[in-house]
Amino acid sequence: MLELAIGIILGCCALGAGCAMIAGIGPGIGEGNAVAKACEAIGRQPECKGSVTSTMIMGCAIAETTGIYALVVAILLIFVAPNTLVGVLKAALGL
Amino acid sequence: MNEKQSKLRAKDGLYIAMMIVPLVVAMIIKIVTTPASEGISISGARIFLEIPMPLMPLLITEAQVNSWLIMITILGVCLFLTNGIHENRGDWRQMGAEWLVEKLDGLVGENMEPVFHASYAPFVGAVMSLSVFSSLMSLFGVYPPTSDLNVVGGWAILVFILITKNKLKAGVGYYAKGYLEPIPVMLPMNIISEVATPVSMAFRHFGNVLSGSVISALVAWALAGASAALLGWLPGFLGEFPYLRVGLPAILSAYFDVFSGCIQAFIFSMLTMLYISGAYPGDELEARKARLAQQH
């Protein structure tokens, strides 16, 4: 029975990590848009290349934030949560 | 003159030692404290010392020790660059120091309101250099302090205190009224967005550095497996040696450690400047001054 419970915990943690990374779609689209617009801007005004590029990198890094949150959640679910949850389960069972 | 020069040289040696010795010490600490049995693993900062305190034990962790060592290194760099500084003549070190200060002043001047120029450039520079050096620590194989949430969280709380201090400049009443705008129903939303500022700053920096180190560790682990599968048939030590792990992870490290670390340091200091500058109620103070002038 305990094996089954631990198996469910591990499987659900992996599943949750996978689901969390769906959030990677948003930053991907957002950064793609930003880069496309930056390319357009450079094509229109090549003399502004420097400032456009630095602004774009800044914006990309901020757009990346939500993806990074998802990544942190996924990493926690894979590397931290199983140990903690199994510990909680064992404590509850008095093992 | 000669004696003075030799004195300068001795001091320079001391400062160069101040730059290099902390990095070596960090590497030695890492080598000594890592158990031999532990291969590639993804774990948090190692706890060196636990000091019992009334509320909860005070932990001295790897991240803290490394950030102290980085502070010594940065101090050494600053002292080395400014040693023997002179008003009229300048050598390459003085030029370098002046270039750095000028660039920093220019950055702060572009992004902050004029009231802040003189007072906030040192703070922004300190945050930026600490962040860059901390993230680049992973190039030496040492635990980078910025991949510990507590370190970055501390910086973010510092920035949050400065933001609140600047918001309070026009009085507590004006600050409290800011929470009820545009309509009083928005109060919970405003409180959440206020708290979200330091949280998002800390998580952005921490997540980027952490994801870099996790991906590097996973790639190193996979390459070890791949080289065991490809070249494991060689006899003895030749078969056990992970050939693919030599040099290949460095290509990833160029992106994850160098590029990502520097970009995140830049963004952290940029957001620091923008938030602090945006918190300053300049219009309100101007309007108040005008009202006072009208009354008199």
Q: What is the mean pLDDT of residues B139-166?
A: 89
**Mean pLDDT computed over B198-217:** 85
Best of B42, B197, B204 to mutate (most A CBs within 10 Å, chain A): B204
B214 contacts chain A (CB < 8 A): yes
Nearest to B10 by CA among B111, B84, B62: B84
Closest Cβ–Cβ partner in A57, A68, A79 for B203: A68
**Residue B112 region by backbone torsions, left for phi larger than 0, else alpha for psi between -120 and 50, else beta:** beta
Contact A61 B264 (CB under 8 A): yes
pLDDT tens per residue across span A70-95: 988 898 888 888 888 889 988 988 87
Residues of B in contact with A53 (CB under 8 A): none
Top mean-pLDDT range of B182-191, B219-228, B248-257: B182-191
Domain boundaries, chain A: 2-93
- Amino acid B41: pLDDT: 62
Provide the CATH topology of domain A2-93: F1FO ATP Synthase (1.20.20)
What CA–CA distances, in Å, run from B166 to A15, A16, B118, B169?
Answer: 45, 41, 15, 5
Average pLDDT, chain B: 83
Could you tell me which chain B residue has the CA closest to the CA of A58? B267
Q: Between residues 96 and 115 of chain B, which touch chain A (CB distance below 8 Å)?
A: none
Residue labelled with tokens 């915990």: A9
State how far the Cα of B132 lies from the Cα of B270, in Å rounded to an integer: 13
Partner residue facing A75 (CB), from B208, B210, B266: B210
Burial class (CB in 10 A: 0-12, 13-18, 19+), B83: middle
Spell out which residues of chain B touch residue A71, defining contact as CB-CB under 8 Å.
207, 211
pLDDT tens digits for range B115-149: 877 788 899 999 999 999 988 888 887 888 888 88
Using one digit for the tens of pLDDT, what is the confidence trace for A16-45? 999 999 999 999 999 999 999 999 999 999
Q: Could B267 and A68 be called an inter-chain contact, meaning their C-beta atoms sit closer than 8 Å?
A: no
b/e per residue, B197-222, with b = 16+ CB within 10 A? bbebbbbbbbbbbbbbbbbbbebbbe
Q: Tell me if B211 and A79 make a contact (CB, 8 A cut-off).
A: no
Is this prediction's ipTM beyond 0.85? no
- To test the contact with chain A by mutation, choose from B40, B149, B210 the residue with the greatest count of A C-beta atoms within 10 A, namely B210
